[in-house]
Amino acid sequence: MGVDALASELADRVVEIAARVFELDAQGLSMSDSPQTIERWDSLNHLKLITAIESEFSIRLRMQTVLKINDIAALVAAVQSHREE
Amino acid sequence: MKLGRFLVPRSLLSLLALMKWGCRVSPRAECEWSRHLRLGRGVTISSFCKIKSSDGPLSIGAGTQVAPFCFITSHAGGVEIGNDCLIGPSATLAGNSYRYDDLAVPMRLQDQVSRGIRIGDNVWISAGCVVLDGADIGSGTIVTPNTVVSGRVPPNSVLQGNPAKIIFTRR
């Protein structure tokens, strides 16, 4: 599987988890979605999203990273960079 | 002491607590100054709180702040609140519950049971939370608004819901 395909698969999984946490349809979510565009993305659901992501990918993000994530694209990037470490 | 509750003006007791322990207890809070009550230095108890300590040990650690309308009651198992905690408005900490195993006897006439409540240091209990008898909350925990806690919670958890679930671990 190519690098692009792997990145795309990762993004799809992240979007799927976000959709589950925010109780939305994954088809309706995009990389640019953020707390400004998703009503349910409040501070508590942000933590729930991080916990779901950490559990799915068996990773543990640093608190500074957790607080910097401000859209789906940043979340995908955080997971990707953590996996590359 | 019970007679003293009615005879001694609350403002005088508040002044005494301020001078003796540096505690700011609102004269509009109803605080039972029983022999079971221990307040650490710099504790704040806001207006309209009810602190009931006559039935069991109740200790509130140094620097802890109790916001308005809280109800804290201790029984035989005790209530122990650590240092530097934040207890939000309208939170309830009930250190006892009623037995209900005899169907023929009204619950209010059956015994009370009390395992006690333990709350570590630097715990933030938000507005409207209920902490039930037997709760043991680890230090550094955040209990989000309207959560009901009844069991053991590891340190640095973030809790939500009824029953409380850990939604995140602080790091």
Stretch B27-55: mean pLDDT:
94
Q: Report whether B110 contacts B101 (CB < 8 A).
A: yes
Domains defined along chain A, listed by start:
3-84 (1.10.1200.10)
Residue B80 lies in a domain: yes
Q: Does B129 touch chain A (CB under 8 A)?
A: no
Q: What is the DSSP letter of B108?
A: G
Residue B164 lies in a domain: no
**pLDDT in the model for residue A2:** 66
A50: closest chain B residue by CA: B168
B157: closest chain A residue by CA: A47
B143: closest chain A residue by CA: A44
Shortest distance, CA A2 to any CA of chain B (angstroms)? 34
B97/B53 Cα distance (integer angstroms)? 15
A8-37 per-position pLDDT tens digit: 889 999 999 999 999 999 999 999 999 999
Residue B85 lies in a domain: yes
Residues in A touching B169 (Cβ below 8 Å): 51
Instruction: Name, of B7-16, B24-33, B64-73, the range with top average pLDDT.
Output: B64-73
Mutate to test the interface with A, among B142, B167, B169, B170 (most CBs of A within 10 A): B167
Stated as kind and residue range, the H or E segment containing B81 is: strand B79-81
Sheet containing B152-153, strands listed edge to edge, beginning at the edge strand earlier in sequence: B37-39, B58-60, B79-81, B117-119, B136-137, B152-153
**pLDDT in the model for residue A44:** 92
**pLDDT in the model for residue A1:** 58
Q: What is the DSSP letter of B80?
A: E
**pLDDT in the model for residue A12:** 93
**pLDDT in the model for residue B106:** 95
Amino acid code (one letter) for A48: K
The total number of structural domains in chain B stands at 1
Kindly report whether the global pTM for this prediction surpasses the value 0.90: no
Residue B10 lies in a domain: yes
Q: Does B90 touch chain A (CB under 8 A)?
A: no
Residue B29 lies in a domain: yes
Amino acid code (one letter) for B123: V
Residue B123 lies in a domain: yes
Whether pLDDT at A3 is above 70 = no
Residue B102 lies in a domain: no
DSSP-derived secondary structure for B6-38 = HHS-HHHHHHHHHHHH--EE-TTSEE---TTEE
pLDDT-derived band at B3, boundaries 50, 70, 90: low
Q: How much is the ipTM here? A: 0.78
Q: Does B171 touch chain A (CB under 8 A)?
A: yes
**pLDDT in the model for residue A54:** 95
Shortest distance, CA A12 to any CA of chain B (angstroms)? 23
- For residue B79, give its domain range: 2-96+113-157
**pLDDT in the model for residue B4:** 63
Residue B170 lies in a domain: no
Size of interface A-B (CB pairs under 8 A): 16
pLDDT-derived band at B1, boundaries 50, 70, 90: low
Report the CATH number that the domain containing residue B132 is assigned in CATH.
Answer: 2.160.10.10
